Amino acid sequence: MYRLSPTAQAPAPVDDVAFLEQAFIDTLARAADPRGLRSYLDHLDDGMSRDAVLCELRESPELQADNPGLNPAPGASLSLDELMRLEGSAFVRSAYLEVLGRFPDASGERHYLAKLRGGMSRIGLLHTLQASAEGRERGASIRGLGQPPPTYILREWIRGLSRR
């Protein structure tokens, strides 16, 4: 989404408020409520990417309640490459959705966010969810996780070193 700036010929990026207003309309089919708008503006100010905002809206309980069939079949939605582009809560929520077919409860999300901050790799988190009783029962797999490319291994290893 771009609009023409009055002082420039090149398109200027849409500001965060306009981005969020359109994201709410496109994703939830409604206008952004003041509380939700303020919350996501704070997230963007804290460094959350617009992609992560869209991911959170797409995975919101509100959208899920209105579309109960939206949960993907095991391994049917995001690839490893797509998952690895996500950070923080957006990653944990997407990992749960992809591997377990559901969103994490609040304690599970906090637990895995703390694990990630403590040095657990994102690939390690995916393997942990897959190896859980629920993951094994569901038979979940993520495209590309069986044989992660060397760049993922190196990137995760470097991330782990930088946290120590």
Q: Which of 68-82, 95-109, 150-164 has the lowest mean pLDDT?
A: 68-82
Strand partners, 13: 2
Mean pLDDT, residues 133-160: 69
- Residue 39 vs residue 64, higher pLDDT: 39
Whole-angstrom distance between the N-terminal and C-terminal Cα of the chain? 39
- Residue 146 is predicted with a pLDDT of 66
- Residue 68 is predicted with a pLDDT of 54
Q: Is the whole model's pTM more than 0.85, yes or no?
A: no
| Cα angle, residue 138 at apex, residues 105 and 64 outer, rounded to 5° | 45
* Closest alpha carbon to 71 in 60, 83, 87, 82: 60
CB atoms near residue 148 (< 10 Å) = 17
145 to 14, 103, 123: CA distances (angstroms): 35, 20, 8
Rg (CA), the chain: 18
Residue 27 near residue 57 (C-beta atoms within 8 A)? yes
- Residue 22 is predicted with a pLDDT of 84
pLDDT at 14 over 80: no
Nearest-10 crossing angle of helices 88-100, 50-58 = 40
Would you state the torsion angle of the CA atoms of residues 114, 119, 122, 126, taken in this order, to the nearest 10 degrees?
-70
- High-pLDDT (> 90) share of the chain, %: 13
Mean pLDDT, residues 35-51: 88
pLDDT at 6 over 60: no
Span 102-128, pLDDT tens digits: 778 888 889 999 999 999 999 889 989
- Residue 63 vs residue 73, higher pLDDT: 63
Q: Which residues of 96-128 are buried (b: 16+ CB within 10 A; e: fewer)?
A: bbbbbbebbeeeebeebbeebeeebbbbebbee
